[in-house]
Structure 1
Amino acid sequence: MDHYDIVIIGAGLAGSLAAIALARNGHRVALIGPKPVIADGRTTALMDQSIEYLKELDLWDETVPLTAPLVAIRIIDDTKRLLRAPPVNFRASEVGLDAFGYNIPNAPFLEILEKHEAGLPTLDRMTAAATTFDLAEEEVRIGVDDGRTITADLVIGADGRRSAVREAAGISVHTWSYPQTAVVLNFGHELPHQDVSTEFHTEAGPFTQVPLPGNRSSLVWVQKPRDADETLKLAPDVLSRAIEDRMQSILGKVTTEGIPQSFPLSGMTARRFGKGRTMLVGEAAHAFPPIGAQGLNLSLRDVMTLVELVGSSTGGRLPADTGDRFDSRRRIDIVSRTASVDLLNRSLLSGFLPVQALRAVGLHLLSSAGPLRGLLMREGIHPGSAIHALKAGLREKISGKSA
């Protein structure tokens, strides 16, 4: 029976990145999960902190040709409500960066990760499904559908919203749903995007264009479920024109690529993010709507934390309380990010006039107040930085008065 330091269940982006990082730290790792039946047509905007981590893992040079930088993010209130906010522009140069991050197509990014996995001698990739779990205090025992049984010091659940690892660990979840469906696709356009992402806020949710290399962009169009079903039925030329009209023709003529995909929107957070020898990362731990490029960036912070917590291999057994320590380390970040995305999404859906007024006032302040906008941008790129900046500012004022 094979024994591993760490077994990771789920071979998507979060699980694959965790496997590569841990194997490069000398741990013997098994990554278990079947290949996706349908290629993921979505893209992911990775922010500066995540890009720096990809560079640490020697993955960036190979990935960068697939990407487009995000030098600016523009928010346009495209609702028809009485109280509307002015456009807000966030520029990376305001916080001393060339770009907030880069937009990466998920499917080719995963192919790059799979190639790197194959080159790591301490990483075993099993394209199978885990079927049984015995999460004992002494070690973890896992049955695989190819007939093997393996053991490990730790197990990481990176197996999505319906995580079998989470269920086996007895960790419950809090779930909620939205009356929304996200339609995702890529499209070509006549005019250059100039590396600017534009997010139109509508009564049904955000309509977000994100740059890809060349005169191409990805789209996340959040709609009411019935409207999303109708959108998926449109002929390519009709859909292209609908997207151009919704974008107010700011990128000229639009031509859609491939077949659009759709995803019902809901939210989920685990009651715990780790327990005993178990840790949860990615959508096994948290899930929310695709707003503000928070999803995979939050998942990568899960990965960064667990890699730091486990450390480099010493040849000894990994502690039985690793999951409990991981839970305490990740709680504030996950809960605060989930709450902020949920609040922003519900503010778009709300027909309650005071809520609309608060949202409009907030965006107006961001539009006119440079320091406040800068704090928000830093917080989005490096979580916790806004609080540190405020503390530093207060200390400077106090020390100035005392002098």
Structure 2
Amino acid sequence: MRALQAVISRRKRATAWEVLSTMDHYDIAIIGAGLAGSLAAIALAREGHRVALVGPRPAIADGRTTALMDQSIEYLKKLDLWGEVEPLTAPLVAIRILDGTSRLFRAPPVNFRASEVGLDAFGYNIPNAPFLEILERHEAGLPTLERATAAATRFDIDGAEVRIGLGDDRSITADLVVGADGRRSAVREAAGIGVRTWSYPQAAIVLNFSHELPHQDVSTEFHTEGGPFTQVPLPGNRSSLVWVRKPRDAEETLTLAPDVLSRTIEDRMQSILGKVTTEGMPQSFPLSGLSARRFGKGRTLLVGEAAHAFPPIGAQGLNLSLRDIMTLVDLIGRPTGSRLPADTGDRFDGRRRADILSRTASVDLLNRSLLSNFLPVQALRAAGLHLLSSAGPLRGLLMREGIHPGSALQAFKEGLREQIRRKSA
């Protein structure tokens, strides 16, 4: 009886894909059409690959902004996107960290200036919604990129290819599938890749606001007992805000009248930008972390929040996702006329593991140090920031590492080699 049921099951599965020979075939199918998925699709299509970008358009406009660092901006220029994106942005010429706690061990102010590492700006702050609109226009102009606004509903991943069923009853096949479909990734689940998740007793409030005094292209991050309160410049006398609070405090903040909320933000910022006026409705997101057990497997690759997610600290989220995409494009290369290898996902996992795990751990450690009431932890955090404030070379190494991962270690090696050379000369 069980053998008969197995045969019937296999026949049903075959029937579901019986139009396989008439399916549209692509080199790469990207599931998820947010910022990470759209950027991956454009980058791969510009290399000449035939790409399917699958996923519905967002139902609600994303009110958040994204700070992209110098390495990411250079990649946008390479993709011929920066000319349209730049007018939306504000440069980040300096970042300052202020201790906004009332704890026994308080840290001194720390100022990071792009000029210290030879840059005009660390990066630029970009509103997400118009950024995505620009990407959609570029997608439409690429002859090897096809956009499907239906959801992907089923996957069959084997050694030969990937078969994908869509919500509009169509089916496609691809050599590789890229999961850019967020924290609850259907691609990750279909590939049998496990995930480690954790949560924080925090929620992030995001909004934009105008202010009386110019921000001078400086981002200010107040470290508070509930989490960071981060103001990031926008063009003109406007800024975006990410305010991490305890969930109950965040709920209460969302109920405040606009004038009361504006005054609350001004007080929290110690009026360093003068009078504040909030714009639109604030949005709130619970904070949690996620790391896939693998970032690729066989014909499956994971990018963006399908692979990694953590609190909005240190402008790491989309910058890390763009490094996923850079690695993906470099690994796949240009079309050769042959099918893409079945072990591409495994090789991608090996190349992305160190970067993703180290960034995830550092952001998690910093966030938990803000939440900790353990005095030795508070003392270590204050001492670390004091060291950064007073030690210019160390601060420079940290800034270089934040902008170009791996550069701090490379600079240290080069400095060590130079010292050895001088001693032996």
TM range (shorter): over 0.9
Partner of 1:236: 258
1:262 pairs, out of 284, 290, 301, with 284
Matches within 5 A, 1:125-164: 125-164=147-186
Partner Cα distance (2:395, 2:46) in 1:
38
Name the residue aligned to 2:378.
Answer: 356
Question: 1:340-392: CA deviations, max 9, x gaps?
Answer: 00000000000000100100000000000000000000000000000001111
Q: Does 1:286 align with 2:323?
A: no
Instruction: Tell me how far apart the structure 2 counterparts of residues 391 and 5 of structure 1 sit (CA, whole Å).
Output: 40
- Gaps spanning 5+ residues in structure 1: where? none
Does 2:352 correspond to 1:330?
yes
| Structure 1 position 248 matched with structure 2 position 270 | yes
Q: Residues 6-155 of structure 1: matches in 2 within 5 Å?
A: 6-155=28-177
**Unaligned residue ranges in structure 2 (runs of 5+):** 1-22
In the aligned structure 2, how far is the partner of 1:199 from the partner of 1:232?
Answer: 21
CA–CA separation in structure 2 for the residues paired with 1:313 and 1:168: 26
Give the number of aligned pairs. 403
Q: Which deviates more, 309-318 or 243-252? A: 309-318
> Aligned-pair distance for 1:25?
0.6
Superposition map of 1:361-376 within 5 A: 361-376=383-398
Work out whether 1:398 is the aligned partner of 2:417. no
Counterpart Cα distance in 2 of 1:136 and 1:172 = 18
Report the Cα distance in structure 2 between the residues aligned to 1:312 and 1:383, rounded to whole angstroms.
25
Structure 2 residue aligned with 1:386: 408
Determine the C-alpha separation between the residues in 2 that align with 1:283 and 1:314: 30
Q: Is structure 2 residue 288 aligned with structure 1 residue 275?
A: no
Q: Find out whether 1:209 has 2:209 as its counterpart.
A: no
Q: Distance in 1 between matches of 2:284 and 2:183?
A: 17
Aligned residue for 1:250, secondary structure, equals coil
Q: Specify the SS of the correspondent of 1:210.
A: strand
Query: Which residue matches 1:306?
Result: 328
Q: In structure 2, what is the Cα distance between the partners aligned to 1:307 and 1:269? A: 22
Q: Which residue type is aligned with residue 316 of structure 2?
A: Q
Instruction: Using the TM superposition, give the Cα deviation of residue 393 of structure 1 relative to its aligned residue in structure 2, in angstroms.
Output: 1.0
Provide Cα deviations, 1:236-257, integer angstroms capped at 9, x if missing partner: 0000000000000000000000
Per-residue CA distance 1:116-148 (angstroms, 9 max, x = gap): 000001100001100000001000000001010
Counterpart secondary structure, 1:265: strand
For the pair shown, the structure with the greater C-alpha radius of gyration is 2
Find the aligned partners of 1:2 and 1:164 in 2 and give their Cα distance. 21
Rounded to whole Å, the distance in 2 between the matches of 1:78 and 1:86 is 10
Q: CA deviation at 1:41?
A: 0.3
How much does 1:401 deviate? 1.5
Q: Deviations over 1:275-297 (max 9, x none)?
A: 00000000000000000000000
CA distance in 1, matches of 2:167, 2:60: 21
Task: Tell me the distance in 1 between the aligned counterparts of 2:337 and 2:49.
Answer: 8
> Displaced runs of 4+ in structure 1, greater than 3 A?
none
Give identity over the alignment, percent.
Answer: 86
Q: TM-score, normalised by structure 1?
A: 1.00
User: Cα distance, 1:201 vs. partner?
Assistant: 0.2
Name the SS of the counterpart of 2:67 in structure 1. Answer: strand
1:400 to partner: Cα distance: 1.5
Length-normalised TM-score, structure 2: 0.95
Q: For residues 309-356 of structure 1, what are the alpha-carbon distances to aligned partners after superposition, in whole Å with 9 as ceiling and x for unaligned?
A: 001112211000000000000000000000000000000000000100
Aligned to 1:296: 318
